[in-house]
Amino acid sequence: MTEPFLPFAKPSIDEATIAAVAEVLRSGWITSGPKVAQFEAQLSEYFGGRPVRTFNSGTGTMEIALRIAGVGAGDEVITTPISWVATANVILTVGATPVFVDIDPASRNIDLDLLEAAITPRTRAIIPVFLAGLPVDMDRLYAIAKKHQLRVIEDAAQALGSTWQGKPIGSFGDLVSFSFQANKNVTTGEGGCLVLNNAEEAALAEKYRLQGVTRSGFDGIDVDVLGGKFNMTDIAAAIGIGQFAQLQTITSARHALARHYFAAFGTEFEAQYGVQLPPADFTTTNWHLFEIVLPEHMTRSDFMAAMKEKNIGIGYHYPPIHLFSLYRRLGFREGMFPVAERVGRRIVTLPLFRTMGKQDVERVVDAVKSVLVR
Ligand SMILES: *Cc1c(COP(=O)(O)O)cnc(C)c1O
């Protein structure tokens, strides 16, 4: 008898949130309005009063962050090859050049030991990614940025609810970008938000997200920068408000499930099966993903197919960006970032979402062991 399908991620929207969305739909105002303002105010409070603006995707949020930082043609931006391709795409979108730095094999984040060697006179910004929600060493990151006078745009798409020395990611630092895409810990369906440094940056963010419009000047409206169409709807914001109210519940449920994964795999699992588990961090990460690196004898596609036969969905986050055709055309090659290439080929994401039970974790662990046993 086959057990029901277990996806690797699944949003859970409660009935109160569904009712709030219906209320917006009936209200006569469904695009950006009072719900967006309310959601931004709640986020700002959580981030210690820093200005926050919302957008219709995490990708759009990152693009606008780069524009606010003044990054454009002729500039280099340093980032990691192990992220969703959006992280590097936005660098190209604003006309700048992505410069990749290999990852640390344990954290799977950008290797800060290698960061300074990649800085040139053209470097304008660093985009660190907090893969699976795990932050980099934030003190060290900002010390390097300060020393070389670089902007930091934190791709914290996966890190809402993560902390550094007890402070929420986003409550300190330079520009901090989050995503509310459907698989993220807190979702609006699609969406994102940017934490900014001051009122001037917030005003610029508002212009970039809506055609460069300011409500002043000639005829009560003026356009003085080239903006786009990136505003969040009140429909999405109503989902976000409902979800954000549960941030603590979501984060602690994910911590408990991650702990159960470690307990169920057992202390001998890594050595016996040649697998690498994620760092057992229960202070900084929000456990957005539970990712393991497969042993040499098992390809990702074989593993995923075998797990699918057991009705378990497996994701992978992520294949190395520099080996996509678009990036190869820019001159990137196999062998440039050996750690990212090894990890990127063999990393898989196991199911982890708030409404999963401990018995689901045990089912996944039993399946992984039976698939990987030689
Ligand atoms: C989800 C994600 C993005 C993009 O966010 P969207 O909301 O899907 O546009 C960027 N970077 C990382 C690391 C992500 O996980």
Q: Which atom of ligand 1 is nearest to the CA of 59?
A: 9
pLDDT of residue 1: 56
Same domain, residue pair 54 and 138: yes
Same domain, residue pair 230 and 253: no
* Side-chain half-sphere CA neighbours of 307 within 13 A: 26
Does the C-beta of 84 come closer than 6 Å to ligand 1?
Answer: yes
CATH number for the domain spanning 292: value is: 3.90.1150.10
Same domain, residue pair 252 and 237: no
- Asked if 78 and 125 touch (Cβ cutoff 8 Å), the reply is yes
Q: Whose CA is nearest to atom 2 of ligand 1?
A: 157
pLDDT in tens, the chain (374 residues): 578 999 999 999 999 999 999 999 999 999 999 999 999 999 999 999 999 999 999 999 999 999 999 999 999 999 999 999 999 999 999 999 999 999 999 999 999 999 999 999 999 999 999 999 999 999 999 999 999 999 999 999 999 999 999 999 999 999 999 999 999 999 999 999 999 999 999 999 999 999 999 887 778 899 999 999 999 999 999 999 999 999 999 999 999 999 999 999 999 999 999 999 999 999 999 999 999 999 999 999 999 999 999 999 999 999 999 999 999 999 999 999 999 999 999 999 999 999 999 999 999 999 999 999 97
Rounded to the nearest angstrom, the distance between the alpha carbon of 179 and the centre of ligand 1 is: 6
Question: Which residues constitute the domain of residue 155?
Answer: 15-244
In a domain, 2, yes or no: no
Q: Give 125-185 as a 3 state SS string.
A: EEECECHHHCCCCHHHHHHHHHHCCCEEEEECCCCCCCEECCEECCCCCCEEEEECECCCC
Same domain, residue pair 85 and 221: yes
pLDDT of residue 48: 98
Q: Write out the two tokens for 150.
A: 């670089």
pLDDT of residue 25: 98
Does the C-beta of 315 come closer than 6 Å to ligand 1?
Answer: no
Contacts of 330 by beta carbon, 8 Å cutoff, 6+ apart: 98
In a domain, 49, yes or no: yes
The helix (H) or strand (E) run that includes residue 119 is: none
**What are the pLDDT digits (tens) for 61-105?**
999 999 999 999 999 999 999 999 999 999 999 999 999 999 999
Distance from C-alpha of 221 to C-alpha of 114, rounded to nearest angstrom: 48
- Distances in whole angstroms, Cα of residue 316 to Cα of each of 126, 128, 178, 294, 326: 24, 19, 20, 11, 20
Same domain, residue pair 259 and 276: yes
Q: Choose the final residue of a domain: 206, 223, 244.
A: 244
Same domain, residue pair 25 and 43: yes
Q: Write out the two tokens for 336.
A: 């440039």
- Distances in whole angstroms, Cα of residue 169 to Cα of each of 93, 133, 286, 370: 26, 10, 10, 38
- Asked if 76 and 96 touch (Cβ cutoff 8 Å), the reply is yes
Same domain, residue pair 271 and 229: no
Q: Write out the two tokens for 328.
A: 């190869």
Place of tokens 């393991």: 292
Same domain, residue pair 216 and 335: no
CATH number for the domain spanning 36: value is: 3.40.640.10
Rounded to the nearest angstrom, the distance between the alpha carbon of 3 and the centre of ligand 1 is: 31
Look up the pTM and report it. 0.97
- Asked if 298 and 372 touch (Cβ cutoff 8 Å), the reply is yes
pLDDT of residue 219: 81
pLDDT of residue 145: 98
The helix (H) or strand (E) run that includes residue 68 is: helix 58-68
Same domain, residue pair 239 and 310: no
Does the C-beta of 87 come closer than 6 Å to ligand 1?
Answer: yes
Same domain, residue pair 180 and 280: no
In a domain, 3, yes or no: no
Q: Count up the domains in the chain and report the number.
A: 2
Same domain, residue pair 186 and 216: yes
